[in-house]
Amino acid sequence: MKTIQELSDIAAQVRRDIVRMVSAAGSGHPGGSLSSTDILTALYFNVMEHDPASWTRSCSGQDAFFLSAGHLAPVYYSVLARAGYFPVAELATLRRFGSRLQGHPSTVDGLPGVPRPSGSLGQGLAAAAGLALGKKMDEDPHTVYALCGDGESEEGEIWETAMFAANHRLDNLVAMTDCNHQQIDGRVEDVAGLDNLSDKWLAFGWDVICADGHDFESVLDAFKLAHKRNGKPKMILFETVMGKGVDFMEGTHEWHGKAPDAELVRRALAQLSSTLEDF
């Protein structure tokens, strides 16, 4: 288990990784990756029961994670590498031809830690629910986690899965939504008018937990509450800031999918501490 300070140090380095990866590739999605950094850092380093040395795509005998919002690949790759699933140096290959680190996570080249590809929005949560049901059938007591975006919550498949998971009483499924209120076309509330996500998930029969996605104590407390096995799947709504940690990216959709140039990278890195050494 990591201390709050250790988690903060890891998250700072992950944010540096994200900025450098996307800049080197000349494309990618930094905004949402930065907003979900603290969530995935807490999940992989303090919450999930997982072992990179014995991990398989079936995730048998350990917890599993599905990235439903697949464009958040930069944060996913950084956390996996920092957790020991593959060499940190490989982060330098993001989006290059022949790289295992594609723009959206792929299993074609057998990238460790990725149980399924993340492509069309909404599918990752559905896959997570399927594995959660499988673990129930196999009497595997472990938990399945999935990270969605609030913009992704406009997808119909999200709500189809919501009905399925509640119907099958998948209380071993813990879904999370990165509520940064931004998507590629602007504010989520302006594009689709999602209104109150908490009320929606409650209406679909889920337990709902609300937390500050940038406060590690709040994040960890939310995960503790989510582990209650009471016959209901769990949704943690993490309130976050798009582009968290980099002042010119914070709170705007303009950095949903755009790479910073060399000068902006220098400006961003000046705000982020190097804690585990850059790749």
Domains and CATH numbers, the chain: 4-269 (3.40.50.970)
Phi-psi region of 95 (alpha: psi -120 to 50; beta: other; left: phi over 0): left
The DSSP letter of residue 154 is G
Q: Which residues neighbour 40 within 8 Å (Cβ) at sequence distance 6 or greater?
A: 14, 75, 76, 79, 147
Q: Are strands 64-67 and 173-179 parallel, antiparallel or unpaired?
A: unpaired
Quick one: pLDDT at residue 216? 98
CB-based contact 158:233 (threshold 8 Å): no
List the one residue out of 24, 36, 16, 26 whose CA is nearest residue 76: 36
Using CA atoms, how far apart are residues 71 and 91, in angstroms rounded to an integer?
Answer: 16
Residues near 263 by Cβ (< 8 Å), separated by ≥ 6?
A: none
pLDDT tens column, 116-172? 998 789 899 999 999 999 999 999 999 999 999 999 999 999 999 999 999 999 999
Look at residue 179 and give its three-state secondary structure: strand
Residue 109: φ, ψ to 5°: -100, 15
pLDDT digits (tens, 9 = 90+) for 26-59: 999 999 999 999 999 999 999 999 999 999 999 9
Taking only the tens place, the pLDDT of each residue in 55-107 is 999 999 999 999 999 999 999 999 999 999 999 999 999 999 999 999 999 98
Structure tokens at 118: 């993340």
pTM for the whole structure: 0.96
